[in-house]
Chains A and B, each alone.
Chain A
Amino acid sequence: MSSSANKGRALPRAGSALPRAALPWALVTPALGWTLLFFVLPFIAMGFSSLTAHEGGAFTASNYSQFFTNPSYWQAMVNSLQVTAIVTVISVLLAYPFAWILAEQVPERWQRLALMLAVLPFWTSYVVRSYSWLLVLAQNGVVNRALTSSGLFAEPVQLANTRFATVTGFVHFFVMLLTLTIFANLKQLSPSYRKAAADLGAGPVRTFLHVVLPLTLPGIMVGAFLTFVLCIGDYITPQILGGNNELLMPQLVMMQIGRRGDFPLASALSIILMAVVTIAYLACARWLKIERA
Chain B
Amino acid sequence: MSAKSASTNPQSILKNHLHAACAATALLLGAGSATQAADLNALIWCDHADPALLQPFEEANGVKVNVKEFEGTGAGLAIVEQSQPGDWDVMVIDSIDVPRGVEKGLFEPLPEDKLPLADLFPQVKMDGSTVVGGKRYGITEKFGYNTIGYNKTKVDPADMQSMAALTGDKYKGKVAIYDYYLPVIGMAALAIGKKTADLTEADLPALKDELLKMKANAKLVGEVTASQTALATGEVDILVGGGEWVTAGLAKENPALDFSIPKEGAVLWSQSLAMFKDSKNKDMALKFIQYIMSPEGQARLATSSCYWGMPANTKAALTDDQKKVLRFDEQPGFLARAQAYPAPNADLDKKMQDMWTEMLQAK
List residues of chain A with CB under 8 Å of any chain B CB: 37, 41-42, 45, 48-49, 52, 54-59, 70-73, 75-76, 79, 134-135, 138-140, 158, 160-161, 239-240, 243-247, 252, 255, 257-263
Selected from B1, B21, B75, B221, the residue in CB contact (under 8 A) with A261 is: B75
Judge whether A57 and B12 touch: CB under 8 Å: yes
Number of A-B contacts (CB under 8 A): 116
> Interface residues of B: mostly helix, strand, loop or mixed?
helix
Min CB distance, A51 to chain B, in Å? 8
Judge whether A56 and B357 touch: CB under 8 Å: no
Q: Sorted from nearest, which 10 A-B pairs have the closest CB atoms? A: A261-B74, A243-B220, A258-B72, A244-B221, A57-B12, A161-B220, A72-B357, A259-B72, A45-B18, A72-B358
Interface size on B, residues (CB 8 A): 45
Mind listing 7 A-B residue pairs with CB under 8 Å? A48-B15, A56-B6, A57-B1, A243-B226, A247-B357, A257-B72, A258-B71
**Whole-angstrom distance between the alpha carbons of A293 and B81 in the complex?**
52
Judge whether B72 and A158 touch: CB under 8 Å: no
Judge whether A261 and B78 touch: CB under 8 Å: yes
A contact residues around B15 at 8 Å (CB): 48-49, 52, 57
Judge whether A243 and B221 touch: CB under 8 Å: yes
Whether a CB of chain A sits under 8 angstroms from the CB of B11 is yes
Residue in A closest to B182 when the chains form the complex, CB atoms: A259
Min CB distance, A30 to chain B, in Å? 16
**Whole-angstrom distance between the alpha carbons of A70 and B357 in the complex?**
10
Judge whether A260 and B349 touch: CB under 8 Å: yes
Judge whether A243 and B74 touch: CB under 8 Å: no
Whether a CB of chain A sits under 8 angstroms from the CB of B234 is yes
B contact residues around A158 at 8 Å (CB): 173, 219
List residues of chain B with CB under 8 Å of any chain A CB: 1, 5-6, 9, 11-12, 14-15, 18, 21-22, 25, 71-75, 77-78, 173, 179-182, 219-223, 226, 229-230, 233-235, 346, 349-350, 353-354, 357-358, 360-361, 363
B contact residues around A135 at 8 Å (CB): 233
Most buried by A among B219, B230, B360, B363: B360
Selected from B25, B74, B360, B361, the residue in CB contact (under 8 A) with A257 is: B74
**Whole-angstrom distance between the alpha carbons of A139 and B236 in the complex?**
9
Judge whether B360 and A140 touch: CB under 8 Å: no
Interface contacts beyond A55-B346, A255-B353, A259-B74: sample of 9 additional A-B pairs, CB < 8 Å, sorted by A: A48-B14, A49-B18, A76-B361, A140-B233, A161-B222, A243-B219, A259-B182, A259-B349, A260-B346
**Whole-angstrom distance between the alpha carbons of A205 and B315 in the complex?**
80
Given the known A-B contacts A244-B360, A247-B361, are A261 and B73 also in contact in the complex, defined by CB atoms under 8 Å? Answer: yes
**Whole-angstrom distance between the alpha carbons of A259 and B344 in the complex?**
12
A contact residues around B350 at 8 Å (CB): 54, 260, 262
Min CB distance, B17 to chain A, in Å? 10
Judge whether A56 and B1 touch: CB under 8 Å: yes
Given the known A-B contacts A45-B22, A139-B234, A243-B220, are A55 and B357 also in contact in the complex, defined by CB atoms under 8 Å? Answer: no
A contact residues around B349 at 8 Å (CB): 259-260
A contact residues around B180 at 8 Å (CB): 259
A contact residues around B234 at 8 Å (CB): 139-140
Residue in B closest to A259 when the chains form the complex, CB atoms: B72
Judge whether B233 and A262 touch: CB under 8 Å: no
Judge whether B75 and A258 touch: CB under 8 Å: yes
Min CB distance, B266 to chain A, in Å? 20
B contact residues around A246 at 8 Å (CB): 360-361, 363
B contact residues around A71 at 8 Å (CB): 358, 361
Judge whether B9 and A257 touch: CB under 8 Å: no
**Whole-angstrom distance between the alpha carbons of A257 and B73 in the complex?**
9
Min CB distance, A78 to chain B, in Å? 10
B contact residues around A161 at 8 Å (CB): 219-220, 222, 230, 235
A contact residues around B354 at 8 Å (CB): 70, 72
**Whole-angstrom distance between the alpha carbons of A121 and B74 in the complex?**
36
Given the known A-B contacts A72-B354, A247-B361, are A240 and B226 also in contact in the complex, defined by CB atoms under 8 Å? Answer: yes
Judge whether B353 and A260 touch: CB under 8 Å: yes
Given the known A-B contacts A56-B5, A161-B220, A243-B219, are A257 and B78 also in contact in the complex, defined by CB atoms under 8 Å? Answer: yes
Judge whether B182 and A245 touch: CB under 8 Å: no
Given the known A-B contacts A139-B235, A140-B234, are A48 and B18 also in contact in the complex, defined by CB atoms under 8 Å? Answer: yes
B contact residues around A259 at 8 Å (CB): 72-74, 180-182, 349, 353
Min CB distance, A181 to chain B, in Å? 32
**Whole-angstrom distance between the alpha carbons of A135 and B234 in the complex?**
11
Judge whether B78 and A263 touch: CB under 8 Å: yes
**Whole-angstrom distance between the alpha carbons of A244 and B240 in the complex?**
14
Given the known A-B contacts A75-B361, A244-B220, A252-B357, are A58 and B235 also in contact in the complex, defined by CB atoms under 8 Å? Answer: no
**Whole-angstrom distance between the alpha carbons of A41 and B179 in the complex?**
34
Min CB distance, B253 to chain A, in Å? 16
A contact residues around B222 at 8 Å (CB): 161, 243-244
Judge whether B361 and A59 touch: CB under 8 Å: no
B contact residues around A52 at 8 Å (CB): 11-12, 15
B contact residues around A140 at 8 Å (CB): 233-235
Min CB distance, B246 to chain A, in Å? 17
Most buried by B among A37, A79, A134: A134
Min CB distance, B111 to chain A, in Å? 29
Min CB distance, B207 to chain A, in Å? 16
Most buried by B among A57, A73, A75, A79: A57
Given the known A-B contacts A49-B15, A258-B74, are A57 and B6 also in contact in the complex, defined by CB atoms under 8 Å? Answer: yes
**Whole-angstrom distance between the alpha carbons of A262 and B77 in the complex?**
11
